[in-house]
Amino acid sequence: MESSILESIGQEIIGVMSPVSLCMLLVVLLVYSLSDSNPFSSSSAPIRTAANLVYLENPSDTTAQKLEGALLNALVFVILIAIVTFVLVLLYYYNFTNFLKNYMRFSAFFVLGGFVVLGVRYNGWFYLLSIIQHFSIPIDSITCFLLLFNYTIVGVLSMFSGGMPIVLRQGYMVSLGIIVATWFTKLPEWTTWVLLVALALYDLVAVLAPGGPLKLLVELASSRDEELPALVYEARPTVSRNEGNPRSTLGFLVAGVSDSGSVEMQAVSNNNVRRDGAENRRSPEYTAIQVRNLENVEGERNRDEGERSPLVGHSRERYSSDSNSSEYSTVIHNRESETSVDEEMSPLVDLLGMDNEREHERRDSVVASRGIKLGLGDFVFYSVLVGRAAMYDLMTVYACYLAIISGLGCTLILLSVCHRALPALPISITLGVIFYFLTRLLMEPFVVGMATNLMMF
């Protein structure tokens, strides 16, 4: 029995949605378990951070005051972000790539390890402490420190060097998102909402407007054919697909053929994988030759390996160490499926002759080795929205979750239409905010009134 297309369509979308959902779920659980019955998180003294430099919200202020203050806060924060992004773009433009990488290692180290950067009370350490306190886990400080230290080091290594399993990298991206998002939920309510809207607007401008910093960054990176110097979640295929070929569903639902985008969604192309494949396809010992070929190409590839994606790094490492061949066979598998894709696709590509067959193969495998990328910022702010909703009620959480996920889906579909890097925040945040207030103002009295009378439909 051939597998139906239901199994292959939408794999990429789910690949992006599931980590986002996981991140949101964990943030909601954290917010929920820590918000009540914990003396630390009641935030008796409001903290001053980059996000509320101008105005400290006070529950007794009037609405106009709160709104004005929140607007000012958001404005200052967005301006700060814009300045930082421009500095990053400038650094990247003048090829300070190593500096950027080290800077990001450093900051990831501090966020994960949770030292002084954000103020000891409101970072990873703080959460760890309050979780330990909340569930009264018996653990001594030395063990705790050692565990945290190891966790941090592995995290930093996995995020910025090749040769680590991509699952580890993805896991650390999600945990980084969780830590930052939980920190952001400490902001006062009005500031959070205005800030989210302002960031969505900023995202829209920065990615789409000509001269927007993220647009510049993306174009630079793609013209240099390099990885983006940013914290980006890659939904790269990790398992071999046997029949449900990745390329076609991508082409159908989300033909993510955009070049790149740092804080945004993008489709990654992994050009250097294909070069060797083009020579000897359709030969009987396809796999065997493939293996040898990889070995030959090894030398040329080594040069830029450090900056390259983990997937490529894998194939090299596994091959040389020869300890764990499963990952390696994944690569081979992928290629085989590409071949079968080619044969299956023939009606679509109107009978290519032998001459342009190679070109076709090239194009196809480029598309096949793409994944969708989602910036860490999107993770963070989605989770901030849901976390903020969790402070009101569970109902708003579900509504916001659905709204954000559907916004993400819309963005992914737009990605297939536009073929370029797109901002992931605007649609989702807009929908999320609208649904939050609709749920809170309209739906909750309705549902509670019905349900407490045991009337349902």
Partner 1 sequence: MTVAAGIGYALVALGPSLSLFIAVISKKPFLILTLLSSTLVWLISLIILSGIWRAFLPLNSTTWWPFAILIFTSIAFQEGLRLLFWKVYKRLEDILDAFADRVSKPRLYLTDKMQIALAGGLGHGVAHAVFFCLSLLTPAFGPATYFVDRCSQIPFFLVSAIIALAFVTVHTFSMVIAFNGYAEGNKVDQLFVPSVHLAAGMMTLINFAYGGCIIGIPLLFLMAILTVMHCGRMVWRRLGENQRQFATTKTILSNPRLAAYYMRMFVMPIVVV
Binding site for partner 1 (CB under 8 A): 1-11, 13-14, 245, 248, 252, 344-345, 347-348, 393-395, 398-399, 402-403, 405-406, 409, 435, 438-439, 442-443, 445-457
Strand partners, 48: none
Cα 430 to Cα 296: distance, rounded to the nearest angstrom: 51
Taking the complex as a whole, how short is the minimal distance between the CB of residue 265 and partner 1, in angstroms?
17
- The answer to whether the CB of 407 falls within 8 A of the CB of 13 is no
Rg (CA), the chain: 24
Shortest Å distance, C-beta 429 to partner 1 = 16
36, 203, 276, 350: the catalytic one is 203
Relative to beta strand 232-235, strand 266-267 is unpaired
- Nearest distance in Å: CB 99, partner 1: 40
Q: Is 350 considered catalytic here?
A: no
Of 276, 342, 364, 378, catalytic = 378
How long is the chain?
A: 457
Tokens of 247: 């390329």
Q: Is residue 304 annotated as part of the catalytic site, yes or no?
A: no
Contact predicate 421/29, CB 8 Å: no
232-235: strand order across its sheet: 232-235, 372-375, 266-267
Minimum CB distance to partner 1 smaller for 80 or for 434? 434
Residue nearer to partner 1 on the CB measure, 239 or 348: 348
Rounded Cα gap, residues 416 and 412, in angstroms: 7
Neighbours of 46 (CB within 10 A): 14
Closest to partner 1 by CB, 1 vs 64, is: 1
Nearer to partner 1, 64 or 454 (CB): 454
d(CA 12, CA 236): 9
Provide the minimum distance between the beta carbon of 40 and partner 1 in the complex, in angstroms, as a whole number: 20
Give how far the C-alpha of residue 348 lies from the chain's centroid of Cα atoms, to the nearest Å: 33
Is 57 or 338 the residue whose CB approaches partner 1 more closely? 338
Minimum CB separation from partner 1 for residue 87, in Å? 39
Q: Smallest gap, in angstroms, from Cβ of residue 346 to partner 1?
A: 8
Give the separation between CA 177 and CA 156, rounded to whole angstroms: 14
CA 314 to chain centroid? 21
Residue closest to 405 by CA, chosen among 119, 127, 25:
25
The residues annotated as belonging to the active site are 203, 378
